[in-house]
Amino acid sequence: MSLRNSKTGKDKLDRVIAEARQDSEKRDHSYREQALKLYPWICGRCAREFTRKNLIELTVHHKDHNHDNNPTDGSNWELLCVYCHDNEHSRHEEELKRGGAQMSVKQTQAATHKPFSNLGTMIKQEKPSHK
């Protein structure tokens, strides 16, 4: 008689391997977790604060818009709420459309001095109503 040792038991190794596999799958998204660890959960634009409840609305923005650029020090990441993130990207697209990713188009140099108003030289012409 042979005792069938059907007790397989959960192999710890299996679990470790599974976790490792998951890990590599998650690598693409891990920058989000890293960023969330690095930075306070606050939108960098509107300063909205986040908790675990609404954390899903907090996104990781890539400052140079290159999602493959993920330095571990977080220098390319910025936490933005979905609205501000959306905003940021549409603004970026606008800039690209305008030809050139130049962010330094400042039009704040509007002239502060008003053009002379020639009030004093206005000539009132009273037309004589001869007939």
Q: By the criterion CB under 5 A, which residues form the site for Zn ion?
A: 43, 45-46, 61, 81, 84
Shortest spacing between CB 43 and Zn ion, in angstroms:
3
Where would I find the beta strands (DSSP E) of 13-53?
Answer: none
Residue 17 or residue 101: which is nearer to Zn ion going by CB? 101
Nearer to Zn ion by C-beta: 15 or 29? Answer: 29
Closer to Zn ion by CB, 13 or 58: give it.
Answer: 58
Q: How far is the CB of 54 from Zn ion (least distance, A)?
A: 12
